[in-house]
A = this chain, B = another copy of it.
Amino acid sequence: MDDSGAPGEDYCGQSVRTTIGMIGGKWTMLILFELLQSERRYADLQRRVDGISQKVLSEELKRLVAEGLVARLVVPTTPPQVTYSITEHARSLDTVFAALHEWGHGHQDR
């Protein structure tokens, strides 16, 4: 990292590529963004992530749980209630979404 804090030539590119490989992807980022705001039930997530199919949402949630980025809680009611929430490991992704917010906000009128 050069001294401006911005990534420079001596940049550890591999950690960025690894992170992009893990969380890059429109649906992954939209799901993480929703869960950073609040824990959600499946149907709530499907409504909030515009255009996502049931199949993709289920696959993404399964992968994010396996990666330790999302937690899945089953409440044994009848029928059982399933809630998804961001893990502490993923909560620090907040900075990425804050940077996305800043950029989006600054370039809205482009």
Contact = CB atoms under 8 A, between A and B. Distances in A.
Copies in the complex: 2
Contact of A104 (B1, B16, B33, B106): B16
A39 B89 CA distance: 34
A101 B50 CA distance: 28
Interface string A1-40: 1000111010111011111110011100110010011000
Contacts of A20: 26, 29-30, 33, 100
A50 B16 CA distance: 13
Interface of A: 1, 5-7, 9, 11-13, 15-21, 24-26, 29-30, 33, 36-37, 50, 68, 89, 92-108, 110
User: What 7 A-B pairs come out closest when comparing CB atoms?
Assistant: A15-B104, A19-B104, A24-B26, A95-B99, A96-B99, A6-B94, A24-B29
